[in-house]
Chain A
Amino acid sequence: MTLFAEYSQVLFVLACVFGLFMAWGIGANDVSNAMGTSVGARALTLKQAICIAMLFEFAGAYLAGGEVTETIRSGIVELDVMAQHPDLFVYGMLASLLAAGSWLLIASMLGWPVSTTHSIVGAIIGFAAVGISADAVQWSKVWGIVGSWVITPVIAGVLSYWIFRSVQRLILHTDDPFANAKIYIPYYMFAVGFLLSMVTILNGLKYVFTKHQLEFSFLDAVVIATGIGAMVAALGIYLLSRITEDKTADKSRRFASVERVFGVLMIFTACAMAFAHGSNDVANAVGPVAAVISVIKSGAVEANAPIESWILLLGAVGIVIGLATYGYKVMLTIGKKITELTPSRGFAAEMSAAATVVIASGIGLPISTTHTLVGAVLGVGLARGIGALNMRVIGGIFASWIITLPAGAGLSILFFYIFKALFS
C-alpha cells in the first residue's frame, strides 16, 4: 500500500496529535462534571479533587479503558467493509477525532456542554455511513450503544435511590446516626473497592499486559477483589476513627457530625468516579488512534488487532494535562454553584454513577458520564433527599443529543473529504 509507505509517519503523528488534543479536551471539560459533586458537597477541596482526579483518571484510563477503546475502534464500523478501503478507514478515523475535538472546542467557547462520547460516536457513524456506505456501520451495535445512553441514567437513578434509602434506614433514621455511620460506612467502602477491582481485573488488565496474556478466572478475580476491598475498608475505618463527634455543631444542625463521616466516604467515591470516568472516556480520544495505528502497522484492517497499551497511556496523559491546565477552572465554577448537596447525598449519587459507568466500561459500552450522574442525582431526589432539582435539565439532555450527534457527524464528513483530497 503505497499510501501507508509514503504517509505512514505523517498519519501516525496526526493520529497521536489529534488523540492528545481530544484527550486534553476531555480532561478540560468532562472531568469537572465527574468531580463536581465532591467539590460541591464540600467533601473535597479543589486541590484534593484535582489530585484525586489526576491519579484516578489516569488509573481508570490505563487499567480499565481498553474494552471501550476496542468498541470505538471496531465495534461501530463494519470491519469487513472497511477491509476493502483501509485508506478511507484511516482518513475517517482521523476525521472523526478532529471533528469531535473541534466540536468540543466550539461548544466550550459557546458555553454549551457537550458529551465527548456522543461526539465521537456520531462522528464515526457520520464518516462511515456517508463517506463509505451505509453498510459500513454495524447498525445493530449502534442501536445498542444509543440504547445504553438512555438506559444508563435510569439504572444509575434506580441504584442511587436504593443506596440512599439504605443510608436512611441504616444510619439517618436511627437513634444514634453518628455511631451507626461509623459501623455501616466501611461496608460501602468495601463495595467501592470490590467493584472497581472486579472490573479492572476481569476486563481492563488484559489491555495493559497485552504481551503476557494475563487471564484471571472469575474466582481468582473475586478473591483478589475481596482482598482489595477489605484493604480499602480498613483504610476507611482508620480515617473514620479520627473523626470525633462535635456536639456543639450538632446542636444547630443535628446531622453535622454524621455528614462529616460521610465526607470521608465521599473521598472514596470520588476516586471511584474519577476512575470510572477515565475508564469510559479515554476511549473517546484513543479509540480512533488505536484504529489508525493498527491499520498503519499491519497495512490492512484487522478484526483482532490488539490495542497497544501505550495508546491508553497517551490518552491518560492527555486527560491529566487537560485537567491540570484548564479543567480545574471549570471544576471550581461547578463546585461553587452546587450548594445543596450534602455528603450523604453526594455519596449515593456518586457511588451509583461510578458503579454504572465502570460496569459499562467493563462491557465495552461508551456512555456519557455526565448524563449518568444526572440520573443518579435525580434518583436521590426521588428519595426526597434534595431540596430542589431543575427538571429542565432533562430537556437539555435531549436537546444535546439532537444537536451533538449530527454536529459530530457533519464535521466528521467534512474533514473526511478534506483528508481524502489531501492524501490521494
Chain B
Amino acid sequence: MGNGILVFCETDGGNLRKSAFELLSKAASLGLGPVSALVVGPADASQAGAWGASTVYHVTGDAFGSYSTGATVKALQAAIAAANPAAVLASASQIARDAFPRLSARIGAGLAVECTDLRAEGGALVGRRPVYAGKALVDVRVKGTTGLFTVRPNSFPVGAAPGGSANVVALDAGVGAGDVDVTVTERIQPASTVVDLTQAERIVSGGRSLKSKESFDAVVRPLAASIGATPGASRAAVDAGYAHHGDQVGQTGKVVNPTLYIALGISGAIQHLAGMRTSRVIVAVNKDPEAPIFQYATYGIVGDLFEVAPALQAEFAKL
C-alpha cells in the first residue's frame, strides 16, 4: 500500500476552491501519513501549504487551458507516481465525475464516489456513501496500492488554516496530442451568477405550491438572494415550468449538500429527498401538516408560504 494522502485541488480564478481546503483539512486529520496536493493549470498552488500539504505538485501547460479528460488523467497519473499515496481525495465535482473513473480504469485503482464521510481504519481509508437515493449508506473499501475517493462538497467543515508552507514541485504530466480527445469550442455561462446548487452552502427551494413562474420569481428568488442562497426547485415545479431544469434538486436533478436548505411548498417526495436529505439544517414551510418533508425538517412551519416567505425575508433583512 502507498503512504499518505494526495488531494486533487480544484481552482477557480487562480485560487484554490473551498472544496480543496475542506479536503486538505480532512486529510490532515485522518492520520494516514503525509498530505500532498495536486494543482492543475494556472493557479497559486502554494495555497495548499497553509492547509497542511507538505508537497504540492503543480502541473501546467497548454493542455490545461480548458478541461480535458485525457490531460487531467495524465496529471493525476503523474502525481500518483510521484507521491505513491494510499489514497487520493477529490471533490465530487463534474471534473472528478468525468476523470476519476477513467483514472481508476487506467491504473487499476478502486474508486469510491460521492462519499459523505471518510475514516481511517487499520491504516486504510474507508468511505461511507449514500446509495439507493439515500435510503441506505454503505462503507466502501478499496484493494490495491492506491484508493480513489470523491467527496460530496460541504461534507466536512473547513478548519482554520494551520499555517505552514509546502514544497511546490513543478510536474510534467507528459501530455501528448493523443491525450486530448475532444475539443472545447464554447463555454456557456450559467444563467445566474450565484453559486451552483451542487456547491451552495445555502439553498431556498420552491415546489408546485408556488403556482406560477411569476410567483416563483417573486417569492423564492428574492428570499434566496436575501441570504446569499442559491434558488432551487422540486421536479414538480420544474415540470410545471416555474423554474429551469438546472434549478432542479432531486434524483433527476442535482444532488445538494448545503448547511441550510429551506423548502417552500415542497411535500418531500422520495425523488426530492434523494437530492437533499444530507443537508445539515432543513427548514420546511408547507400548508399540509402531514407533508413527508416535516419528518426530515429541523424546523417546520405549517403555514402559507405566500405569507411566511415574505415575513422571513423581512426578518433576514434585519440581520
Partners in one complex: no
Chain A residues at the B interface, C-beta cutoff of 8 Å: none
Chain B residues at the A interface, C-beta cutoff of 8 Å: none
